[in-house]
């Protein structure tokens, strides 16, 4: 069993144990517009992703936060070297664990933040194009590691249990492919998300 799988199982067991004693919970589903920066010459296009997050309120203003982020395959513009053309793509999943403080106004609005650690699994793929006499091909590699995330959002209650959310997110994956490549990098993911939450 991989470390990534073990981390997810531990997180799910934490959720289950908290749910048994829960007095106030919230489940959020969000769609993200992402911008990835690999701290290198790669310039990735804007991409998309989704998050599923669960909050268990320890106090009125503070919740334990657990979630999953999944991105689509994000491409960069084709580049050229002395051999031919190539294009890099990246896809990543992250398991999130942290806290969610909030401030709830008397009107149906609240502001909140998220802060925590993440455990990521990232795949980098390179597709090469040569010429008519030499066929191209694809090669890929996958790595796992840790990082952190932070976000700031606002929410509007449209019912007793349903909330609409807008959130600015920042996720950092540290030392991607360290020890496996001569050029390890930190992957920064900035995103704008729109989501719905359901309060139990």
Kindly report, residue by residue over 53-83, the tens digit of the pLDDT: 999 999 899 999 999 999 999 887 666 665 6
Q: How confident is the model at residue 20 (pLDDT cuts 50, 70, 90)?
A: very low
> Which residue segment(s) compose the domain that 178 sits in?
3-199
Q: What is the pLDDT of residue 160?
A: 86
Q: 112 burial class (0-12, 13-18, 19+ CB within 10 angstroms)?
A: buried
Q: What is the pLDDT of residue 187?
A: 93
Q: Find the mean pLDDT for residues 111-138.
A: 83
Maximum distance among all alpha carbons in the chain?
70
Tokens describing residue 22: 């829960």
Q: Is the pLDDT score of 164 beyond 90? A: yes
Distance CA 137, CA 132 (A): 13
Domain count, the chain: 1
CATH code for position 88 = 2.40.160.20
Residues in the chain: 200
Which residues, in sequence order, are bridge partners of residue 115? 99, 150
Beta carbons of 90 and 187 less than 8 angstroms apart: yes
Distance CA 134, CA 83 (A): 10
Distance CA 189, CA 150 (A): 11
Q: Is the pLDDT score of 157 beyond 80? A: yes
Phi/psi at 10 (5° precision): -60, -40
Region label for 195, one of left (φ > 0), alpha (ψ between -120 and 50) or beta (otherwise)? beta
Q: Is the pLDDT score of 12 beyond 70? A: no
Kindly report, residue by residue over 26-50, the tens digit of the pLDDT. Answer: 999 999 999 999 876 567 888 999 9
Q: What is the dihedral of CA 112, 145, 3, 58, to 10 degrees?
A: -20
What percentage of the chain has pLDDT greater than the value 70? 78
Q: Find the mean pLDDT for residues 172-199.
A: 91
Q: Is the pLDDT score of 7 beyond 70? A: no
Distance CA 124, CA 66 (A): 26
């Amino acid at each position: 069993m991989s470390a990534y799988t073990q981390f997810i199982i531990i997180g799910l067991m934490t959720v289950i144990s908290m749910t048994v004693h829960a007095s106030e919970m919230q489940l959020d589903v969000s769609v993200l517009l992402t911008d990835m920066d690999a701290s290198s010459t790669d310039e990735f296009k804007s991409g998309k992703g989704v998050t599923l997050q669960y909050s268990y309120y320890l106090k009125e203003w503070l919740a334990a936060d657990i979630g999953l982020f999944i991105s689509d395959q994000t491409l960069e513009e084709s580049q050229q070297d002395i051999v031919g053309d190539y294009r890099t793509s990246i896809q990543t999943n992250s398991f999130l664990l942290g806290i969610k403080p909030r401030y709830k106004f008397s009107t149906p609005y609240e502001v909140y933040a998220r802060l925590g650690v993440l455990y990521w699994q990232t795949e980098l793929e390179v597709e090469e194009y040569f010429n008519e006499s030499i066929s191209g091909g694809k090669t890929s590699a996958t790595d796992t590691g840790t990082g952190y995330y932070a976000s700031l959002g606002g929410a509007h209650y449209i019912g007793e249990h349903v909330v609409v959310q807008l959130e600015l997110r920042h996720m950092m994956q540290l030392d991607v492919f360290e020890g496996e490549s001569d050029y390890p990098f930190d992957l920064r993911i900035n995103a704008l998300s729109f989501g719905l939450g359901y309060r139990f």
